[in-house]
Chain A
Amino acid sequence: MGIEDQSLARKAANGDRKAFDQLVLKYEKKVFNLAYRMCTNYDDASELAQEAYIKAFKSIGSFRADSEFGTWIYRITLNVCYDFLRKNKKQNVISISEVGEEGYIIQNLHSHNISPGDYAESRETIREITNAIGTLKEEQKNMIILRDIEGFTYSEIAKILKISEGTVKSRINRARLSLSNILSAKLEHLSPRSVKDVRKGG
């Protein structure tokens, strides 16, 4: 997959539009989602994801053969988002009342045959959690988004942020504990579970 991306990136650098298009198609959903989680606004996310691609392709010549295109485009996406957030000071504003979020919840409801009661609970849980994520420090918020929401591996996050895997892990752990502390009272109320239940496979 990596070699294919490198080949596409090389072609794109030489002006091959098809290669550009393939790279866009391959990563656009993830790039958009990352932007959405960072800025929490559907329309802004669309603009930012586009901006990330434009920036990437404007500097495609600097894409190094030993890099992964995915890591590179995600890093650019994050940087575009940071820049946007700084200018707009929206770090601590988070909302799930966007079209996209509603859309996915409704979609989820149908596809998983979730009862209206569970849907309400699920929606409330997500609302509480996303609100709490919005109050985290930027570094911790990013960790939760990258690992727990977007599902990047530790190794991928390390490459995107250019930090060691050890640092990634300790930051993620700290971020989760902070988030858990913020939600402490609500978590108990939302969905009390036994230790056995919460352990995956346990």
Chain B
Amino acid sequence: MICNKYDDKLSFYVQNELSESEQYEIDEHLKSCYSCRIKVNELGTLLDGISKIEDVELPEDFHEKLLSRMEKELWTDNKKVFPYMRFVKYASAVAVFALCVFSVTHLSMFKSKKNDSALADNAITSSAASSSKSNEYGSKEVVPGVQYDLKIDPGTGTGSSSKDSTEMQSSIAKDTNGKSTVAQDKYSNNTAASDNNTAEADSGSAAASAFAGSTMDKDIKTDATVSQSPESKQADAKKSVLSSSQLLQVREQNINIQIKTNNLEAAFRLIDEQAVKVNTRAMHIAMTTGQTTQESAYSSMRSFSALQSAQTEDTVNVEVKKEYEERFKALLEQAFGKDNIFYEASEDISSDIDKFIIKITL
């Protein structure tokens, strides 16, 4: 008869890591349990064998090779990584990702609630709807086959419910009011300073547009050819602040995106489109709200409230099917920079859903 009574403790028993009473309890059990005695014997032999595996010596030239690589990749002037440049790169990457995540989420919301009349009045969802229609890849046809769930860690609910999402947005606006004000003031000043700069108005609305799930094609044409009224600029600025506040909220959470779909390729194309454009615009915001130097762009990025309290490391859990893994990683590496992403082991590589954790580090 096979006994599993102490399976959760046997290897610790063998290593003498249990309390005295637990060790004694198992000692007593072993007297009458042949099955566990066999297991203990095998575990003991196994651990004894493993203990004979010792460290291997470093290759003789390891240290020299490493120093030489460091010299080449870290110290060479043209490749030296300047801290503030890293921040700008990182900040824009975070903005891109957050925007993409929200775009995807709202598309999902649209999909799951497209027949819900209560949502018809929701500007964000309406925008998502129009984006689906205008997407050149025909996202309206393919997105319904894609299911996305945005989960924000305990305490904030999930983005998959329109009710929760609406509540979350309300609370975000309230919670981050203080921070938003700073950004809005800065933004307003900048808007006033270059009132004739339509490009800036364009960048001001970028976050809100992208956030709302727009594919941006329409926005680019409109912003490039039509001057906006002061009221609309103000409204755009306000939208931008709201968006950035929401981004901030997202940045403060660990975001779990669970993508379970058979048609991810279409979603990738959609995100690709967003990523390229949003990235350009995120940098554009940085450059146009400040001066044209890198330092002031950096400063502007900092004042962009979404990034104001940026942490140095974020963990994003992505669950994606194996067949899309390489594509997904390539996309992320393009958006975040290869060196800013680390991949962790999947929880269970035997399942068809391959999970891996992506860590974005500065």
Contacts and interface: CB of A to CB of B under 8 A. Distances in A.
A82 B47 contact: no
Interface string B41-81: 11111111111111111110011011101100111000001
Given A28-B66, A104-B56, A138-B346, A183 B47 contact: no
A95 interface: no
A10 interface: no
Interface string A121-139: 0100110111000000111
Contacts of B350: 137
A79 B44 contact: no
A79 B361 CA distance: 12
B65 A197 contact: no
A59 B87 CA distance: 11
A170 B8 CA distance: 7
Interface of A: 13, 17, 20-21, 24-25, 28-29, 32-33, 36, 42, 46, 49-50, 53-55, 57-59, 61-62, 64, 75-76, 78-80, 82-83, 86, 91, 98, 100-101, 103-104, 107-108, 122, 125-126, 128-130, 137-139, 142, 144, 148-149, 161-162, 169-170, 172-173, 176-177, 179-180, 183-184, 187-188, 190-195, 197-202
Nearest to A46: B59
A198 B14 CA distance: 7
A118 B50 CA distance: 15
Given A193-B48, A199-B16, A53 B70 contact: yes
A119 to B, nearest CB: 11
B7 A198 contact: no
B339 interface: yes
Nearest to B86: A61
Given A79-B342, A138-B345, A139-B347, A176 B81 contact: no
| Interface pairs A-B: 10 shortest CB-CB | A198-B44, A100-B56, A79-B342, A62-B362, A62-B312, A176-B11, A125-B49, A148-B50, A187-B42, A187-B45
